[in-house]
Structure 1
Amino acid sequence: MPKMKTHSGSKKRFRRSGTGKIMRAKAYKSHILTKKSTKRKRGFRQETELAAADAKVINARLAGR
Structure 2
Amino acid sequence: MPKMKTDRGAAKRFKVTGSGKLRRRRAFKNHLLEKKSSTRTRRLSQETDVAPGDVRAVKRLLGL
Gaps (5+ residues) in structure 1? none
Match of residue 15 from structure 2: 15
Distance apart, 1:9 and its partner CA: 0.9
TM-score, normalised to structure 1's length?
Answer: 0.90
TM-score, normalised to structure 2's length?
Answer: 0.92
Distance apart, 1:2 and its partner CA: 1.9
- Alpha-carbon RMSD across the aligned residues, in angstroms, is 1.1
Match of residue 52 from structure 1: 52
Match of residue 41 from structure 2: 41
Gaps (5+ residues) in structure 2? none
**Runs of 4+ residues deviating >3 angstroms:** none
